[in-house]
Structure 1
Amino acid sequence: MDWAFTEKFSLLPGIRINYDKKEIDFKRIIYGGLEISDDNPDKEALQAIKNSVYSNQEFNASIDDTNFSGQLTLAYKPTKNYNLFGTFSTGFKPVGLNLGGLPTDNGRVMTELAVVKPERILHYEIGLKSQPLKNLIFNLTVYNSDIKDYQIQVQAESLQLNRGYLANAQKVQVRGIETDISYTFNNFYFFTNLAYTEAIYKKFTNAPPALEDTGGANYVDISGGVLPGVSKWAGSTGGEFNFAGKFLKYEGDYFFALDSYYRSTFSSSPTPSKFMNVAGYALFNTRFGFRVRQGVTTYIWVRNIFNRDYFEQLLPGAGNAGHYAGVLGDPRTFGLTIKVSF
């Protein structure tokens, strides 16, 4: 709902109701491997070794959850070119179940980890959306999110969990500031945006150990550590120049565009590790072509112009036996795009 109770003030409340019900009947049966005869005097010891690599596992779980969430935004528009707002909102990620097996403790399946608690969020935000000049747009937002039972994929040391499992971090905080600017002048368009983000575990006492601590404690306290996948600084800048022309029988615009994206170093592991930090990088892209409203639009493009080598992600190998793998970013890529509009 959008309620404008004066010419300058408006209130925007909203509510959402969600119900989830999930069930799992998990049964894993292994076969092959070391054959152990019944008359072997070391049968029990050999079976224990075999089970330490992979073993039968069976469990059942059922869960349902009803969630009420929503938002309340107060907006103030002193002039037609400026809009100030403040928002309080709640959010959630539904309750979950682990579908790929569970960790074990001295041979006991930890069925208490089958259910993944719903993630609940309290979010505060204040901001400005403005057009101080005819062709200039300036927006600024400051925000804070407090998250309870943050859902995160972890990779344990046990080989029983070759895909890892979902776990809950007790408390997480994400806060930052974002700004974006765009400017249009005759045949030129320019944009830039920048974001500063701080994302930390406020409390996570039962996290898996880091890669370098494989073989030690099963769980560690990483409260105060940084979340994976979040760069403190990220931004992009670009522009486009166009001019009227004709291509074949169509009238339209020739255009040339160049843009760049940058992000600073970020952790690539649920538990911070000195081996699992992806170095910051910048990428540049360009495109050139002919654009029409109706007819054929054609352009060539190049991504990662300077053929920058970079990782998108670093992750522990299956079973986390002390090794890790990397997901490589795309190299320099060329292409041609043809679009037809009617």
Structure 2
Amino acid sequence: MRKSFAVTCAVCAIAAAMPVHAQQPADGAAEQAAEDSASPYDIVVTAQRRAENVQDVPISIVALSGEKLDAAGITDFSRLTTQVPGMIADSNSDPKGARLGLRGVTSSQEDGKQSSVGVFVDGIFMSRVGMAFAEFQDIERVEVLRGPQGTLFGMNTAAGLVHIVTARPNFNETTGFVEGVVGNKGRWDIRGLITGPISENWAYSLSGFTTHRDGLIYNDTLDRKVNDRDRSGVRAKLAYKGETVDFLLIADYQNEESNCCTSIPWRMKPGASLLGNPAAPLLPAGYPYSRISVSPFVPYTKSETGGITAELNWQLSDALTLTSLTGWRDWNLDTRLDPGALPIKLVETVGSQRHRQFSQEIRLTSDGGGPLKWVAGLFFFDRTTRSISELHYKVPSLYPAGASGITNTRFRIRDTSYAGFGQVTYDVTDKFTLAIGGRYSFEDQKATQVQVTQNFVDPAYNRAADRTDGQFTFTGNASYHFTPDVMAYATVARGFKPGGFDLGRPATYTNFEFEAETNLNTEIGLRTQLLDKKLTLNLTAFSTTYKNFQTLAFDGLRFLSLNAPEFVTRGVELELNAFPARGLAWTNQVSYVDAHYTDFVNGACPQGIAGSCDLTGRRLHQAPRLTLSSSLNYESNIGQSDWKGFGYLGYSYRSGTYSNQALDPYLYQKGYGLVDLRLGVEAPGQIRVEAWVNNLFDKDYMSFGFNSPLLSGGYGGFVGDERMYGLRLRKSF
């Protein structure tokens, strides 16, 4: 808590120091591109490693500006799902097991596995997606790129990526804000930012936040609240801009100390039993939506993450720029969980993980004005992860007399990656453009795991393995501008994710490794802006075939990694944005996905069915067919005054999904929609007062479910947030 207090003081100091105005957009090429834009939906992105209007990029992309995220009240990573249809993002149990998905492809990132969807922050790859499940601060935009992006971004981007871009320091004037948020469930936030010039060539920015919320679940056994939130963070930047060189240095730190995350009983089959005894008397009344836990344990999540990013851009000539991007990241995580979720002490897990990574990218980009444009580069990445975890079995019949019942597991992973990449774009005519790119990635991984057990459930072993994976990935696309505001494109791309190690508690050595995952994606798209850019209509159709998809099965006690030989995901994505009247904006994003196995004869079976089940022709789990996001934004002067009123109404919908690979009907969450509402006023001095409600109609839903260990016929899960509401006060300078 001393760190949280220090960050709070830093935020307050930011507020006290600020004689400022609203923040400006990024400088350089992105700023010039923004000035050329006439539509409120035109966002400058760097999806192809150069600044471009999002409407000119031949990629299926959702670009969210910092202003849009602010209007929707999106302050943490997981709530991006309300703005990006087809995106799954949750870390219900703890951040190291976070799940991230796009286009029906959702993979949990176990300790020995990479995610099919990559996360980048200011161009730096986050090799554990849980590192991104934190609070937003100082955000310029978020780019969500669907489909394989391995050519220019590399690493684990077989299914797409999320790129979080923070705002650059302001060289023109000192600007910033300070804000406070209060809400139900004891929520309070303090956030602040200051940025401005130091001299003609130097600028800085400093942002910080601290956020607190009481528990959303009442533990009846311990008579206390759990699933609270306590997070704090700071980010500092120093920038230099010369005639031929610009430089940006970023240092950031976030800390969390929360009593999170408690699962609760979700569903029980008739006659469900715990070690031969009826389970029904142990369940809380009104479960699961009474939000009552009966666990005898208090969970916790303690994490520290931070790093340094250094970006250097050197204009070697009028036609060539050299970019160096260096990143160092550190992530420490300590957790305690109760997977049983019953009032009897059955099993408890505690663990700690230490993660270090370093990356270096060198990139040459052509800046010429001719028909030929290109980018080429080299990439190096190195990370080491060390983990200690203990599984405490509390039932005496599960371990010998005189033993502790504990399974102690330690592992270490060293992952080193090298890659060379390039892409060439050629304007065949002033309307027709061709692009082709390729990347060769070589990945070397080493893993050791030692497990010592004092029970009858888990085996003991000491094992080690090395593996190398190399793969050439490519992208080819053609685009045609019928008019400056109407463009069609076609793309083919190959994606790749290296194999890995099953570092759970598998019963045998034979499944210690699993194979690399590849895919081939084809898509066509249409990008249009009509009625003097007051109407934007974008449409994409895609089909992707995956080979050796890395997935999970559950054998009643353990999650096991394995490869599904083949599946296909197909669908369409629609974006419709309108600016029908002054001050009124209507945005819509819709995604329809059909993801199903075309070859998977040895899949997992629902609880109570022994052996394997043929899932060929069956849909993928955590793959909703229909997702959508729609919002209305309106602002207008109040009467004849200088005061301005504004409002935001957002709706997001997700159709029904299964939580596990076995498609167990007891782990099916039917479709649901959530409504968010925000109303406020803004004074001429840029004081904003806003009332907000998330989940306006208090919709009950489960975000994820699982087979309860040791409980025959029982299922646990994580309940979605109830109605949350409050006030926000912001002062901009």
Work out the CA distance in 1 between the residues paired with 2:495 and 2:682.
41
Structure 1 residue identity aligned to 2:540:
T
- Alpha-carbon distance change, 283 to 77 in structure 1, aligned in 2, over 3 angstroms: same
Q: Is the 8 A contact 1:234 1:262 kept in 2?
A: yes
8 Å CA contact 2:458, 2:505 repeated in 1:
no
Q: What corresponds to 1:336 in structure 2?
A: 727
Q: Say which of 424, 436, 442 aligns to 1:13.
A: 436
What amino acid maps onto 1:305 in structure 2? L
| Distance verdict in 2 for CA 1:274–1:264, change over 3 Å | same
Q: Report the equivalent of 2:481.
A: 77
Question: What code does the residue aligned with 1:183 have?
Answer: A
Residue 261 of structure 1 is matched in structure 2 by: 652
Tell me by how many angstroms 1:292 deviates: 8.4
- Determine the structure 2 residue equivalent to 1:128: 526
Once residues 4 and 88 of structure 1 are traced to their aligned partners in structure 2, the CA distance between those partners, rounded to angstroms, is 18
1:27 maps to 450
Structure 1 residues 129 and 252: CA distance shift in structure 2, 3 A: farther
Alpha-carbon distance between aligned partners in 2 of 1:268 and 1:151, rounded to the nearest angstrom: 16
In structure 2, the residue matched to 1:92 is 496
Superposed counterparts of 1:203-218, under 5 Å: 203-213=599-609, 216-217=610-611
1:22-65 C-alpha deviation (Å, 9 max, x unpaired): 2222121113x5xxxxxxxxxxxxxxxx3xx2331232221111
The reply on whether 1:238 has 2:631 as its aligned counterpart is yes
The one-letter amino acid paired with 1:268 is: S
2:224 equivalent to 1:224 = no
Alignment of 1:148-159 (within 5 A): 148-157=547-556, 159=557
Match of 1:3 in 2: 426
In structure 2, how many angstroms separate the alpha carbons of the residues matched to 1:193 and 1:328? 26
Q: Which residue of 1 aligns with 2:575?
A: 180
- Shift, 1:85, TM fit: 0.3
Aligned residue for 1:196, secondary structure, equals strand
Do structure 1's residue 171 and structure 2's residue 566 form an aligned pair? yes
Q: Determine the structure 1 residue equivalent to 2:585.
A: 189
* 1:325 lines up with 2:716 in the alignment: yes
The equivalent of 2:539 in structure 1 is: 140
CA distance in 1, matches of 2:469, 2:705: 34
**Counterpart for residue 45 of structure 1:** none
CA distance in 1 between partners of 2:514 and 2:538 (Å): 37
Deviates more, 1:20-29 or 1:171-180: 20-29
**RMSD value over aligned CA atoms?**
2.3
Distance 2:692 2:436 in 1: 43
From the superposition, tell whether residues 272 and 320 of structure 1 become closer, same or farther in structure 2 (CA, over 3 Å).
farther
Aligned-partner residue type, residue 98 of structure 1: D
Q: Distance in 2 between matches of 1:57 and 1:80?
A: 64
Structure 1 residues 321 and 203, CA gap change in structure 2 (3 angstroms): farther
Q: CA 1:25–1:319 in structure 2 vs 1: closer, same or farther (change >3 Å)?
A: farther
Q: Contact 1:225/1:271 (CA < 8 Å) preserved in 2?
A: no
Alpha-carbon distance in 2 for matches of 1:199, 1:268: 14
Aligned counterparts of 1:15 and 1:340: Cα–Cα separation in 2: 48
User: Contact 2:677–2:694 (CA<8 Å) still a contact in 1?
Assistant: yes
Separation (CA, whole Å) in 2 of partners of 1:10 and 1:294? 47
Amino acid at match of 1:137: T
Equivalent residue, structure 2, for 1:113: 511
Q: Output the CA distance in 1 between the equivalents of 2:474 and 2:643.
A: 45
> Which of 506, 513, 519 in structure 2 is aligned with 1:102?
506
Deviations 1:144-199, CA, capped at 9 Å, x for gaps:
01000111122223x3x2xx122111101000011110101211111222221100
Query: In structure 1, what residue type is equivalent to 2:488?
Result: L
CA contact (8 A) 1:256 1:288 kept: yes
Mark the CA change 1:70 to 1:253 in structure 2 (over 3 Å): closer, same or farther: farther
* Letter aligned with residue 622 of structure 2: G
Alignment-derived partner of residue 200 in structure 1: 596
Instruction: Give how far 1:337 is off.
Output: 3.4
Alignment pair present for 1:270 and 2:661:
yes
- In 1, the alpha carbon distance for the partners of 2:436 and 2:596 equals 29
- Bigger RCO of structures 1 and 2 (CA < 8 A, at least 6 apart): 2
Q: 1:282 aligns with which of 673, 690, 700?
A: 673
Aligned mate of 2:693, from 298, 302, 305: 302
Does 224-233 or 294-303 show the bigger shift?
Answer: 294-303
Describe the shift of the 1:336–1:166 C-alpha distance in structure 2 as closer, same or farther (beyond 3 A): farther
Contact kept, 8 Å, 1:57 with 1:101, in 2: the verdict is no
Match of 2:453, SS? coil
What is the SS of the residue equivalent to 2:503? coil
2-structure distance, mates of 1:320, 1:61? 34
Q: Which amino acid aligns with 2:663?
A: P
**So what's the TM-score if we normalise by structure 1?**
0.83
Distance 1:151 1:302 in 2: 38
Deviations 1:103-160 (A, max 9, x none): 3xxxxx2x33211211101000001000122200001110001000111122223x3x
1:247-275: CA deviations, max 9, x gaps? Answer: x9xx6743101010111111211111221
TM-score for both structures, normalised by structure 2 = 0.40
Larger Rg: 1
CA contact (8 A) 1:176 1:198 kept: yes
1:241 partner letter: Y
Corresponding letter in the other structure for 1:117: E
SS at match of 2:665: coil
Whether the aligned pair in 2 keeps the contact of 1:299 and 1:338 (CA below 8 Å) is yes
Q: CA 1:29 to 1:232, structure 2 compared with 1: closer, same or farther past 3 Å?
A: same
1:212-263: per-residue Cα shift (whole Å, max 9, x none)? 42xx22x2221111101111111122101101369x9xx6743101010111
Distance in 2 of aligned mates of 1:24 and 1:88: 34
Task: Check conservation: 1:201, 1:223, Cα contact below 8 A.
Answer: yes
CA distance in 1, matches of 2:685, 2:724: 28
The offset of 1:306, in angstroms, is: 0.4
* One-letter code aligned to 2:428: F
Percent sequence identity over aligned pairs: 25
Give CA deviations for 1:73-114 in whole Å, capped at 9, x if unaligned.
Answer: 1001111121000000111222211112223xxxxx2x3321
